């Protein structure tokens, strides 16, 4: 019988000590099963924010979260499995093109995704703008689709790391979201539980990122790579720029259209670059000798996309939602666009209805922002720079306020910022 008590756990971490493996497993299981009170769990989370977790503590904490549910066995799929996770950004529709592209290269991509919150978009929200598409799949459907199509984008089941769902909800209301050990364990517990053999992490840096500072983002990336490798998942991370939004759209249906453009051989250069770069690392970790750029050019990824959408009830040829109201905003000055603030653009899209303030809020699939120039391009004062799309005209003033100062126009061009800053792992 365990001699661990919650007060001993709290005192140990409050005073800067290391929790034993037994204490960690006892706490995670106890909170998941309702034997530890919310206020006690809140106290421990806050102590972790202040005191941190050692590498050993974090590895045990993450493994204990995985152990509260099932760890999927994907060995029957018949292909090497590899997934990608992004820490979230503005205009980040990369997963939509990346999953079918890597599947077309010969891998199986089991992407369990989430919904948007605040200024960052969610992959499931984007996919749900496709008529008929469904995010929830039964386990058998999930496995059949991985075998037969090669790519799945869907919601995680309730039995995958249920401790994370409970702890995340608690962190959300106790100002303990930003702790790197807690972020890393939250992301990696779900990815480890999904059973993928390899994982690439896209860790965003800049104004539109969850962690804008490069040092903190690098710390998070290295921490997650370590957790993945310790759990037998081949893992690498890329730090990528999110000081300016990706592509030229932010909003669910708008981003789907842009992802389809990429699959058709077009699309914005930055979205294509990041998609192909991530695909190359995914293929490397999966042990595949394939050139994603060539596969994309030949149209095979588009075939995979259409099959993936149809397998989940969607119609890839159906018209997607369009906004009832579109407001156009001029550049206001002649010169070079030297800055386009990702957070401001994301907040404008959120205020237009593309995102949510609480997890159960509805989203407007057609809402969002389109920008007609990107950093480094020349603009004219009367040129339309932004389009604001929404189903509710009353949302426009708030979105315009959020966009104030987002675009910086200067008389001379700016030095380009690399999209991919560094690789870890």
Instruction: Point out the residues that are catalytic.
Output: 85, 164, 171, 186, 190
Residues 256, 168: Cα–Cα separation, whole Å: 28
DSSP-derived secondary structure for 234-290: EEEEEEEE-SS-STTEESHHHHHHHHHHHHTT-S-HHHHHHHHHHHHHHHHHHT---
Residues 251, 243: Cα–Cα separation, whole Å: 18
Q: How far is CA 163 from the centre of its chain?
A: 20
Q: What number of other Cβ atoms are within 10 A of residue 169's Cβ?
A: 12
Residue with tokens 């924010």: 49
Residues 2, 4: Cα–Cα separation, whole Å: 6
Residues 324, 76: Cα–Cα separation, whole Å: 47
Residues 235, 232: Cα–Cα separation, whole Å: 9
Q: In the β-sheet with 378-379, what is the strand arrangement from edge to edge?
A: 378-379, 335-340, 407-410
- Answer for the pair 234, 192: CB distance below 8 angstroms, yes or no: no
Q: In the β-sheet with 325-330, what is the strand arrangement from edge to edge?
A: 249-250, 368-371, 384-390, 325-330
| Residue from 340, 330, 329 nearest 408 by CA | 340
Residue with tokens 């039964």: 138
The DSSP symbol for 355 reads: S
Residues 171, 179: Cα–Cα separation, whole Å: 10
């Amino acid at each position: 019988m365990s001699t661990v008590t919650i007060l001993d756990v709290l005192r140990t971490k409050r005073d800067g000590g290391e929790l034993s493996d037994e204490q960690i497993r006892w706490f995670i299981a106890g909170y998941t099963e309702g034997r530890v009170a919310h206020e006690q769990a809140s106290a421990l989370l806050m102590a972790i924010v202040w005191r941190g977790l050692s590498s050993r503590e974090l590895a045990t904490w993450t493994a204990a979260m995985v152990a509260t549910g099932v760890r999927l066995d994907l060995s029957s799929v018949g292909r090497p499995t590899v997934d990608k996770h992004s820490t979230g950004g503005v205009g980040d529709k990369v997963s939509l093109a990346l999953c079918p592209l890597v599947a077309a290269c010969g891998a199986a991509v089991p992407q369990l995704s989430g919904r948007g919150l605040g200024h960052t978009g969610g992959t499931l929200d984007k996919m749900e703008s496709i008529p008929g598409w469904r995010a929830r799949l039964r386990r058998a459907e999930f496995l059949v689709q991985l075998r037969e199509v090669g790519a799945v984008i869907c919601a995680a089941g309730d039995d995958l790391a249920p401790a994370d769902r409970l702890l995340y909800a608690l962190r959300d209301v106790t100002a303990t979201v930003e702790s790197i050990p807690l972020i890393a364990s939250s992301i990696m517990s779900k990815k480890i539980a999904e059973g993928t053999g390899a994982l690439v992490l896209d860790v965003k840096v800049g104004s539109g990122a969850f962690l804008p500072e490069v040092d903190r983002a690098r710390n998070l990336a290295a921490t997650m790579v370590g957790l993945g490798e310790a759990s037998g998942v081949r893992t690498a991370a890329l730090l990528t720029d999110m000081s300016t939004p990706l592509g030229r759209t932010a909003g669910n249906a708008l981003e789907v259209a842009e992802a389809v453009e990429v699959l058709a051989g077009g699309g914005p250069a930055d979205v294509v670059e990041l998609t192909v770069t991530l695909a190359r690392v995914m293929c490397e970790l999966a042990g595949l000798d394939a050139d994603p750029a060539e596969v994309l050019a030949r149209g095979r990824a588009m075939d995979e996309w259409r099959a993936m959408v149809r397998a989940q009830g969607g119609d890839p040829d159906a018209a997607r939602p369009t906004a009832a109201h579109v407001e156009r905003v001029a550049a206001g000055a002649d010169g070079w666009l030297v800055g386009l603030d990702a957070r401001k653009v994301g907040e404008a899209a959120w205020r237009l209805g593309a995102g949510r303030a609480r997890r159960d809020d509805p989203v407007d699939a057609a809402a969002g922002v389109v920008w007609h120039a990107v950093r480094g391009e020349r603009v004219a004062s009367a040129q339309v720079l932004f389009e604001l799309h929404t189903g509710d005209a009353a949302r426009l003033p708030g979105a315009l306020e959020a966009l104030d100062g987002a675009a910086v126009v200067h008389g001379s061009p700016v030095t380009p910022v690399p999209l991919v800053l560094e690789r870890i792992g």
